Amino acid sequence: GESVGLHLPTLSVQEGDNSIINCAYSNSASDYFIWYKQESGKGPQFIIDIRSNMDKRQGQRVTVLLNKTVKHLSLQIAATQPGDSAVYFCAEIGAGGSYIPTFGRGTSLIVHP
Amino acid sequence: DGGITQSPKYLFRKEGQNVTLSCEQNLNHDAMYWYRQDPGQGLRLIYYSQIVNDFQKGDIAEGYSVSREKKESFPLTVTSAQKNPTAFYLCASSIVGQGRQPQHFGDGTRLSIL
């Protein structure tokens, strides 16, 4: 089927390497950020989130870093595996009463065995 | 297991035909959403609903309609007025009112034109 990764920025890594996927967000008032993983033909899967009162949060093999000064978010995946191959995209939610996220276009991660 | 179920997985529409995409969730989430995904683009919001019997237009609502008669269900109708309906449609749900919470997604319906 048609790939959601078509025409997206692509990051190619070797199995076992660490991967870093970046996201520049648009709204300086955003106070909640989410990373999703989307495999071909499937819906996005929640990976990790971070609130604006933090600059780092760790999960299992993943770390999210938030730099509010330059409006930059990154997802680090340790010891990348072939099963990590997917499109990764970030989402931001503004402060106040909003709960509707704005989604980035995503980055296609390709892990070579 | 709790989750969001979208059906069908693949759908074909003839010219002038309305088609309805199903979305059901058993997560007891108040809010539900419909997104359209085109290759190489971010998710675009079509409609969303925070409570039963109430819904709001998103960024690209023209040519689409929804209903929210039950908390668990949020079907999307792609009408004949939508001239470019070929896309991957994603339904999501989330908790509302407990601070910021992530959306949970179904596995999508791919709609194509015959």
Q: Is the pLDDT of residue B16 over 70?
A: yes
Residues B2-28 as b or e (16 or more Cβ within 10 Å = b): eebebeeeebebeeeeebebbbbbeee
The pLDDT-based confidence of A4 (bands split at 50, 70, 90) is very low
pLDDT digits (tens, 9 = 90+) for B50-62: 999 999 999 999 9
pLDDT digits (tens, 9 = 90+) for B33-49: 999 999 878 899 999 99
For chain B, the C-alpha Rg in angstroms (whole number) is: 13
Query: Residue A95 is encoded by which pair of tokens?
Result: 């402060």
Residue of B nearest to A90 (CA): B42
- What's the gap in Å between the CA of B31 and the closest CA on chain A? 10
The answer to whether A43 contacts B96, with C-beta atoms less than 8 Å apart, is no
Nearest CA among B57, B58, B113 for reference residue B80: B113
Smallest Cβ–Cβ distance between B88 and the set A4, A32, A99 belongs to: A4
- What's the gap in Å between the CA of B79 and the closest CA on chain A? 23
- What's the gap in Å between the CA of A101 and the closest CA on chain B? 9
CA distance B97 to B105: 19
CA distance A84 to A97: 34
With an 8 Å Cβ cutoff, the interface of chain B facing chain A consists of: 4, 6, 31, 33, 37, 39-43, 45, 48, 58, 88, 90, 92, 94, 96, 100-108, 110
Smallest Cβ–Cβ distance between A51 and the set B88, B100, B108 belongs to: B100
Residue of B nearest to A47 (CA): B102
pLDDT digits (tens, 9 = 90+) for B81-102: 898 999 999 999 999 877 778 9
Q: Kindly state the percentage of chain B with pLDDT values over 90.
A: 80
pLDDT digits (tens, 9 = 90+) for A11-52: 999 999 999 999 999 888 899 999 999 999 999 999 999 999
Q: Residue B56's CB: how many other CB atoms inside 10 A? A: 12
- A96 CB-near residues (< 8 Å, 6+ apart): A29
Query: Residue A107 is encoded by which pair of tokens?
Result: 């980055």
**Averaged pLDDT of chain A:** 91
CA distance B78 to B87: 11
User: How far lies B110's CA from each of A18, B95, B113, in Å?
Assistant: 33, 26, 10
- For residues A50-63, average pLDDT: 96
